[in-house]
Structure 1
Amino acid sequence: MFNKNNPKESGGELLHNHIPIKLVTVHGTGAGDITSSGDKWWQLGSVFMDELQKRLDLDPNQVEIVPFQWENGPNSEDKRRDAGSALAKQLASYDEAEQDYYLIGHSHGGSVIYNALLKSVDNKTPFKRLKVWCTVGTPFLDYRPNTFLFQRLRSIGLTIYTTGIVSLVLGFWIMLMALFKTEVNQNIVTLGHAMTLYGVITYACLWLYERRRKSWFTKKQKKRVEALYSNLWCGLWHKEDEAISALSNVQNISAPIIPSTFLLPVVASFQFGLVILIGLIFAFDLAFNSGDMLNYFLTSEDGSEGFSIGGITFSIAFEILLIWIPLTWVLTKLLSLFAHLFGRPLAFLLNKVVWASIQKRAWGDDLLKEDVHAISSHPPEFEHKCDFLGDSIADPLRQHSEKNAIKTLHKVRLVLGMSENADATPDIRTELSDSINWQELIHTSYFDVPAFIDLLAESLQQAGLVNDNQATLADK
């Protein structure tokens, strides 16, 4: 947990000078609102905020609670970084005003705070008045730039890169061929040199361009954040937190969604159409191009031309049994073989694409030049780690979520058991959505459990968030 060395020196002196302290709250994904007042934990006037103020005995004239709003909290890493930049500017203004500030972020609200810290390092303006940053149930996503240059290029850059690489390969090939021939056209050799030079220059320029305008945070910057702010970090999280576990586990899920036999139904449908097509072809052949065999069966027994039902029937049966059915069977077997040969590798590739899409959707990974390298309950490159909540806090959290889960399950059962003879057809999706209050999860229950509020208040108090009279007693 939080390991500030001397809480007396972290916030008490500012209270003596009567400079307002800021307590900034940052909501998580999907938890935003257009107003700063309301019932949500981070809003002014919420039950949690009232309880926290009581525990800390905060004077509104000395401590100002500042809800930080970033739209509705979209599940987007790009939006989280934009919010981090906005928060960094806000905190920098507190530094200029010589105001202490304390940060609390829930879920990806903690990611927004972490991005603000990264931004301060990137701007080379470390936060001077930051006293503590508490993250609650935050899954930290470690993004790293894509390995290859072409993965970080788009549009015109990728086009130029392609022409450069093609020129480099062709130029190198021309020069290599010239080494093994005694007589080579000098113009061809010059062309090879020019193409190779163009390829090298193009790649070098694109590489330098990407390096100068990089949009990612480097490993060095992450280590710098660890050096500056790790001793101010208070990480609070339950070991069964669903968000942390789910986002971490989805990285390793690779169960097949699309079976290797997924092409067989397509083959069966195609087989049905193939049989009809071949039947029509043979029917057309019998009607207009019967040949000598059909003429033979259309001849009467005395040698004169006549109509023989048996002959025509035999001719059709002959073509069906010896040509139509065998040909259809062979083509069907070939199609089934094709389905098996190509179905397995194609299903493998499609499963990779599907799971990659699911992972990106779950992580909010909408960055073009970076990929998620790891997910953890701790910020990337942090040597200082906060343990998960102890049983005295974890058990009440678990009991709170389980109690609400039972209530919700009862509501869900009632929704699913609606009579088919009801006056109106129920909208199952809406009914189920209305039955969930999100307190069924530990991840969304932290601020409703008194034991956790006690712990958070104690952590803030240790960081120096105390009233003027408390600071005076501490100094004595």
Structure 2
Amino acid sequence: MSQPSLAAAPPSEELAILVHGTFAGAESHTGDKWWQEGSEVSQALQDRLPDGVRIAADEEVFHWSGENGERARSRAASQLLQRLRPLEEEGKPYHLVGHSHGGSVIWMALRMSLVAGKPLNGLRSWTTVGTPFLHQSSRSPWHPINLLSFLVGLALLRPAFAAAKGLLTLLFDAAAGHPIAITLKDSSEAGYMSILRAPFLALLERMGVSVERTEAGIHLGSFDPAGDLSLLQYLLFTREGLLLFGVILLFGYICLHLSLMAVRPAIESIRIRAEKRLQRKAFARYGGRWLGLWSPDDEAINGLRATLKLSVSFVKRIAPSDRVFLTDNLELVSRPYYWVFGPVFNHLLRPVVDSLVRGVLARSAQGNDRPTTQVVDVKPTPVDDAPGAMPLPPSVQKEILDESNRHAGGVAPLLRQLLACPTFSTGLESISNQLSGRELVHTSYFDHPDVLDLISCNVALESGAESPAAAELPGRPAIVEWFSAFKRGVAEDDLEGSRIFAYAAQPEAIPEPPRRRAG
């Protein structure tokens, strides 16, 4: 979906942009989803925000596809960055709040801003809620496989460029009317290129194109420079000329394609290394404005982390069946087959196939469609050693979990409906339409008032604004202490952290909105 420019805001107004997560997208700006205008969550959050901060509405509401993939999240980050540019140019402050992989989209956008050399100076705060940050890795750029792939890629560039040069020379000579013959170097002079072009020469011969090996080289086609046809006419208006031109073009394309495929792993390895440095740089600049809210019971974070250690076997061992049925005796003649091939398959092929299947399933669940990389960890923090980052206070964790368990009690009747449906897909669709989202911790954060209060605390802190509920803080020391400790911790690596540290070091000075229910 194309993203229109954000509407101009009054000079004193700050904007809060909500970014949804995976599978949570919608076409409409308004609706019941937490990030849509008019929803219970957005209204409750707006009531808690300081004066002068409003949640994006109408055309300002941010949309992305919500697809489960790194490519989709990267595209969304680029779209978000485009949406923020008008605010940056006008000097309008703003805040970002992302749930689930909406937080990943925000984190990608922050890193992209540094790559583009245009840091987000208008960003006041960014908050992630239940975000499973995927920490990726790849082989070292100096790994033998990468070095070998790079050398193979360079070797394949030579025939690709030779084919391109030959075609351009051929077309130039044809256009200039030069009567030349189409001749390749002899195999003894072509080196390894003779091995690569051999299948294509055989293909030309099978298609009826003349391939004549002479002392001068390999003469292609039956074009006669002294004949009635010009070289251009031969190439464009004869079957043999067209076939010859097409096969040379195909040879160059395949060599170029294989070359790029060979160097791709090495390039991605270099890029992953660079991104590790970029992550540290991005967190150093934006980390002090971050607030991360998550529970250790979050199903999305824990489920994605579980994909890192899949041990399920999907491939059955080859072994003779027990003789239970009468026809099992007929399999006795196949016992030598099991003796010979069973050990080879079970101990050599089966582990490899199992590993490949598990890898495909894990990458699909993780949405890791980035080439030659693997997810090595799933954390609720954007960097490995995010200082001060910690889960929600235990009391809040327990309340969210208890509420989710209470709603999850109604899932059993839905499972019975699933079993009674004629098809599994129909049953899943029926259940998904009846689930409220409150059955999971991952989708229940915004139902808890303390979560909304903490989001607004971060907004108020970074805006330098006062909340109308600051007088209630003395009665809620656990929330104040947790928020103070979190902000003091992340401010340690922030380039602009001195103000935040000084502000968060005084719990009584931290504004907090009133405690009220989302509904």
**2:72 aligned partner, one-letter code:** K
> Please, which of 335, 345, 362 is the counterpart of residue 359 of structure 1?
362
Give yes or no for the alignment of 1:54 onto 2:47. yes
| Cα distance per residue 1:190-219 (max 9 Å; x no partner) | 979xx9xxxxxx999x86997599765522
1:443 equivalent in alignment to 2:442: yes
Given residue 460 of structure 2, which amino acid in structure 1 is its aligned partner?
A: Q
Task: Give, in angstroms, the shift of residue 378 of structure 1.
Answer: 0.8
Q: How do 1:151-170 and structure 2 match up within 5 A?
A: 160-161=153-154, 163=156
**Count of residue correspondences:** 364
> How far apart, in 1, do the equivalents of 2:265 and 2:345 lie?
42
What whole-Å deviation, never above 9, does each CA across 1:1-40 have from its counterpart, x for those lacking one? xxxxxxxxxxxxxx9x843311111000000000111111
**Paired amino acid for 2:117:** K
* Kept in 1: contact 2:134–2:377 (CA 8 A): yes
What letter matches 1:366 in structure 2?
Answer: D
Q: Distance in 2 between matches of 1:453 and 1:212?
A: 39
3-state SS of 1:257 partner: coil
1:378 aligns with 2:377: no
Deviations 1:406-452 (A, max 9, x none): 0222333466479x9xxx99954444334433221100111122232
Taking the aligned partners of 1:54 and 1:240, their CA distance within structure 2 comes to: 28
Contact 2:94 2:124 in 1 (8 A): yes
Partner Cα distance (2:309, 2:362) in 1:
10
**Inter-partner Cα distance in structure 2 for 1:207 and 1:438:** 44
Instruction: State whether structure 2 residue 413 is matched by structure 1 residue 410.
Output: yes
Deviates more, 1:430-439 or 1:394-403: 430-439
User: Structure 1 residues 333, 417: closer, same or farther in 2, change over 3 A?
Assistant: closer
2:102–2:131 contact (8 Å) kept in structure 1: yes
Question: Partner amino acid for 2:311?
Answer: S
Q: CA deviation at 1:52?
A: 1.1
Aligned to 2:119, the other structure's residue is in SS state: coil
- Paired letter, 2:283: E
For 2:399 and 2:46, locate their aligned partners in 1 and report how far apart those are by CA, in whole Å. Answer: 21
Equivalent position of 1:91 in the other structure: 84
In structure 2, relative to structure 1, the CA distance for the partners of 1:163 and 1:411 (3 Å cut) is: closer
Distance in 1, matches of 2:47 and 2:191, equals 80
Equivalent residue for 2:37, pick from 44, 47, 53: 44
Tell me if the contact between 1:230 and 1:384 (Cα under 8 Å) persists in the aligned partners.
no
Specify every segment of 5 or more residues in structure 2 that has no aligned partner in the other structure, as ranges.
Answer: 1-8, 159-187, 196-257, 471-508, 510-519
**RMSD over aligned Cα, in angstroms?**
4.5
Partner of 1:246: 303
Summarize the alignment of residues 67-466 of structure 1 with structure 2, pairs less than 5 Å apart.
Answer: 67-71=61-65, 73-147=66-140, 160-161=153-154, 163=156, 218-261=275-318, 264=320, 329=332, 331-344=333-346, 345-413=348-416, 416=419, 428-464=427-463, 466=465
In structure 2, how many angstroms separate the alpha carbons of the residues matched to 1:112 and 1:427? 31
Displacement of 1:254 in angstroms is: 1.7
384-393 or 439-448, larger mean C-alpha shift = 384-393
Offset at residue 368 of structure 1 (A) = 1.5
**Cα pair distance change 1:145/1:85, threshold 3 Å:** farther
Q: Structure 1 residues 190, 365: closer, same or farther in 2, change over 3 A?
A: closer
Scaled by the length of structure 1, the TM-score of the pair is 0.65
Measure, in 1, the Cα distance between the counterparts of 2:467 and 2:432: 46
2:340 and 2:269 map into 1 onto residues whose CA distance is: 48
Could you tell me how far 1:59 is from its partner in structure 2? Answer: 5.5
The alpha-carbon deviation at position 258 of structure 1 amounts to: 2.3
Cα distance change of structure 1 residues 351 and 162 upon mapping to structure 2, 3 Å threshold: farther
Identity %: 26
Structure 1 segments, 4+ long, off by >3 Å, are 57-60, 62-66, 144-153, 156-165, 188-192, 206-217, 272-275, 413-418, 424-435, 465-471
* Deviation for aligned residue 1:74: 0.1
3-state DSSP of counterpart to 2:409: helix
Task: Compute the displacement of 1:96 (Å).
Answer: 1.0
Asked if 2 retains the 8 angstrom alpha-carbon contact of 1:24 and 1:102, the reply is yes
Amino acid at match of 1:67: V
CA contact (8 A) 2:156 2:259 kept: no
Task: Pick closer, same or farther for the CA change 1:227–1:426 going to 2, 3 Å.
Answer: closer
CA distance in 2, matches of 1:37, 1:53: 15
Equivalent residue number for residue 24 of structure 2: 31
- In structure 2, what residue type is equivalent to 1:406? G
| Contact persistence 1:78–1:366 (CA under 8 A) | yes
The 3 A distance-change label for structure 1 pair 39 and 58 is farther
Q: 1:225 is matched by which residue type in structure 2? A: A
What is the CA-CA distance between 1:70 and the residue it aligns to? 0.7
Question: What SS does the aligned partner of 1:367 have?
Answer: coil
How far 1:58 sits from its partner (Å)? 4.4
Contact (CA 8 Å) 1:260, 1:347: kept in 2 or not?
A: yes
| 2:391 partner SS | coil
Which residue number in structure 2 is paired with residue 302 of structure 1? none
SS at match of 1:135: strand
- Alpha-carbon distance in structure 2 between the residues aligned to 1:190 and 1:33: 59
Contact residue 121 and residue 225 of structure 1 kept, 8 A? yes
Q: Which has the higher contact order (CA 8 A, sep 6+)?
A: 1
Gaps of 5+ in 1: 1-14, 166-187, 196-201, 276-327
Contact 2:19 2:97 in 1 (8 A): yes
Does structure 2 conserve the Cα–Cα contact (< 8 Å) formed by 1:150 and 1:161? no
Distance 1:208 1:426 in 2: 38
Assess, with a 3 A threshold, how the Cα gap between structure 1 residues 469 and 41 changes in structure 2: closer, same or farther. closer
Which string of whole-angstrom CA distances, capped at 9 and with x for unpartnered residues, describes residues 73-104 of structure 1?
Answer: 00010110111112122223211110111000
Q: Matched residues in 1 for 2:55 and 2:316: separation?
A: 59
Following superposition, the deviation at residue 335 of structure 1 comes to: 1.1
- Mapped partners of 1:430, 1:81: distance in 2: 28
Q: Contact (CA 8 Å) 2:17, 2:61: kept in 1 or not?
A: yes
Using the alignment, how far apart are the partners of 1:212 and 1:413 within structure 2? Answer: 47
Which of the two has higher C-alpha Rg? 1
Q: Which residue of 1 aligns with 2:483?
A: none
